[in-house]
Structure 1
Amino acid sequence: MNYRHHFHAGNFADVMKHVLLLQLLTRLNAKDKVYRYIDTHGGAGKYDLSQAAAQKSGEYLSGIHRLINLPASEKKNAPEAIKQYLKIVEDMRAVSGKGAYPGSPWFALEGMREADKATIFEMQPEVFQQLYMNIRDRRAGLHERDAYEGLLGVIPPKEKRGLVMIDPPYEIERKDFPQLVELLVNAYLKWPTGIFAVWYPIKDRVMVDRFYKKMAKTGIRRQLVCEICVWPDDTPVGLNGCGLLVINPPWKFAEDAKQALSWLLPHLKMQENGGSIAVKWTVGE
């Protein structure tokens, strides 16, 4: 695999994904029953944006860097989800330095309760070693394993409630993501009440629309799409935006997501008259 998340950590897509992840967990926390968080591609768990990889790409400059450097008054008026996200980042920076940025497992463990549990997969040996060093939490089980086969072995969890975060590197998930659709169909069959959140890039609108149509044909109900595009769809920059497909979203999550993305767009869009957000049901009840 050529993909390394160190180059992309803290970019606009990470910001969107992590804000919405925290909102999903907040909604899960609203009920007393414990739950399981499952991360299929955990990465290193923690990144240093001052190192060569992040500095070479510079992607964080149009992501977390913009938000961290907002005036205090603007941060104060942000939605609660944004405040929670920024506090976790700033708490890590206070301990580990100004280049520190959390990965999804770190955000999840910060957003979970003491009684909840996590299962985190990472198949790349060197990245798994970093994950092992960075995530030292008794609630988290770490697995050096390919999530495309490992996920089906751990669901449904004994807690019966929970969230699966799926964010593959999109090296084998070509075109309209057939491998991803197959994984979701099989996972849903095993755990139809689970929440599944799938992050995906928006580079080609035609391909993304095909993905939505393919997912609609699976028969899986309650599919919510959340998108943020920081460039117009027809801009040839490689990554115009990103989305999160959520199966079985918690009550009122759609409202949370729209509020957060509406706040994020003016701070993350790359030109004055470009960019968009969308929160829509592609498949209802």
Structure 2
Amino acid sequence: MNYRHHYHAGNFADVMKHILEIGLLQALHKKDNAFCYIDTHAGRGWYDLAAAPAQKTGEYLEGIRKIDTRQAKPSKWVESYLQNLEKLKSQFGKAYYGGSPWFALQNMREQDRMVLMEWHPVDVEKLKDNFYRYPQVAVHHRDAYEGLTALIPPKEKRGLVLIDPPYEEERHDYPEVVELLAKAYDKWPTGTYAIWYPIKDRAPIDRFERKLVKTGIRKQLVCELCVMPDDNALGLNGCGLLIVNPPYQFAEEADKVLQWLMPQLSQHTMAKASVRWLVGE
């Protein structure tokens, strides 16, 4: 595995993913009983954008740096996201940006639990260093495709699984993700699953969606943000978050958030954002 998220931290895809992640976690607060958050590709937990990897790509300049914090916020999710970032900066420095585990930690209660998996040998050690002080958090040096099904259902019976693979070989990764979701859903059909995916070309996404429909899993919601036309050959044009078992009224709130983000993160006049049901009830 060669992927290192530090090169991409804080880009437009991170901004979208982390705000929607917060929305999913805050929905779990509506009940007092505990939930479990599971992150299959956790990375380091947080990142220094002034360090060489982020500076080499500069992707954060088209992401978090473009968000106008002075604008009226469309949702509590966005307010929480910005507050969570400010807390990270106050602890580590103004150049820092959070990964998914950081935002999860800020949106957990005392009774909740977090399980983080990371396969890269360097990043998992950094992840352990970052989270050892939090008793709610368990870090596993483990391959997600084996680890997730071994760890569910959690004892809490409620929770969120974030599946965010690197997609280094997309022709293999998309089918593997569908297979992982199907196996996990068989073991824990009441959990909420959020699968992030890149949009570089529409054809592989169409095939991905057909495979998802064939699983027979109901309640599949697609949230997408494209900052470039989705057939642009130059690179990452957009991203999506497929959510299984989304909370009540999540779709409506997610659409408000994406319509707010789209003009700020746009890199082209054909930028677009959408929320739609791939499979309904």
TM range (shorter): over 0.9
Once the two structures are TM-superposed, the CA of residue 175 in structure 1 deviates from its matched residue by 6.2
Q: Which amino acid aligns with 2:209?
A: Y
- Measured in 2, the distance between the counterparts of 1:77 and 1:125 equals 39
Matching residue of 1:125: 121
For the residue of structure 2 that corresponds to 1:174, the secondary structure is helix
Among 85, 96, 100, the alignment partner of 1:89 is 85
- Partner letter of residue 216 of structure 2? G
Task: Tell me the distance in 2 between the aligned counterparts of 1:125 and 1:234.
Answer: 35
CA spacing shift, 1:78–1:184, aligned 2, 3 Å = same
Q: Which amino acid aligns with 2:30?
A: A
Report the counterpart of residue 43 of structure 2 in structure 1: 43
Contact 1:11 1:59 in 2 (8 A): yes
Q: Distance in 1 between matches of 2:230 and 2:18?
A: 23
Aligned length: 280
**Are 2:74 and 2:256, in contact at CA under 8 Å, matched by a contact in 1?**
no
1:248-259 to 2 correspondences below 5 Å? 248-259=245-256
What is the letter of the counterpart of residue 106 of structure 1?
A: W
Aligned to 2:238: 241
SS for the counterpart of 2:97 is strand
Structure 2 counterpart of 1:15: 15
Quote the residue 1:3 is aligned against: 3
Q: Give 1:211 shift.
A: 0.6
The match for 2:199 is 202
Deviation, 1:137, is: 1.1
The Cα shift of 1:176 comes to 7.2
Residue in 2 aligned with 1:181? 178
Per the alignment, do residues 77 and 199 of structure 1 end up closer, same or farther by CA in structure 2, a change over 3 Å counting?
Answer: closer
Q: Does the residue aligned with 1:213 lie in a helix, a strand or coil? A: helix
Alignment identity in percent?
56
Evaluate the alpha carbon distance shift between residue 167 and residue 225 of structure 1 in structure 2; reply closer, same or farther with a 3 A threshold: same
The answer to whether the 8 Å contact 1:223/1:245 transfers is yes
TM-score between both structures, scaled by the size of structure 2: 0.97
Deviations 1:74-105 (A, max 9, x none): 1x444221111111111211221111111101
Secondary structure of the residue aligned to 2:171 is: coil
Q: How far apart, in 1, do the equivalents of 2:112 and 2:28 lie?
A: 10
CA distance in 2, matches of 1:152, 1:86: 33
Q: 1:87 to 1:12 in 2, by over 3 A?
A: same
Matched, 1:170 2:167: yes
CA contact (8 A) 1:176 1:208 kept: no
With over 3 angstroms needed to count, the CA separation of the structure-2 counterparts of 1:77 and 1:196, relative to structure 1, is closer
Conserved? CA contact 2:167–2:173, under 8 Å: no
Match of 1:152 in 2: 149
- Secondary structure of 2:205's counterpart equals helix
Structure 1 residues 222 and 146, CA gap change in structure 2 (3 angstroms): same
CA distance in 2, matches of 1:31, 1:134: 29
**Aligned equivalents of 1:170 and 1:84: distance in 2?**
29
1:245 is paired with a residue whose SS is: strand
Shift of 1:209: 1.1
Partner Cα separation in structure 1 for residue 176 and residue 126 of structure 2: 27
Residues 217-228 of structure 1: matches in 2 within 5 Å?
217-228=214-225
Q: Hey, what's the Cα distance between the residues in 2 that align with 1:235 and 1:181?
A: 25
TM-score relative to the length of structure 1: 0.95
Task: Find out whether 1:264 has 2:261 as its counterpart.
Answer: yes
Is 2:201–2:233's contact at 8 Å kept on the other side of the alignment?
no
Q: Rate the CA distance shift 1:176–1:210 in 2: closer, same or farther, 3 A.
A: farther
With over 3 angstroms needed to count, the CA separation of the structure-2 counterparts of 1:71 and 1:38, relative to structure 1, is closer
In 2, Cα distance between equivalents of 1:225 and 1:188: 17
2:274 alignment partner, one of 257, 265, 278: 278
Contact 1:226/1:243 (CA < 8 Å) preserved in 2?
yes
- Residue 49 of structure 1 contacts residue 100 of structure 1 at CA under 8 Å; is this kept in 2? yes
Q: 1:71 to 1:165 in 2, by over 3 A?
A: closer
The CA distance in 1 between the partners of 2:97 and 2:34, in whole Å, is: 27
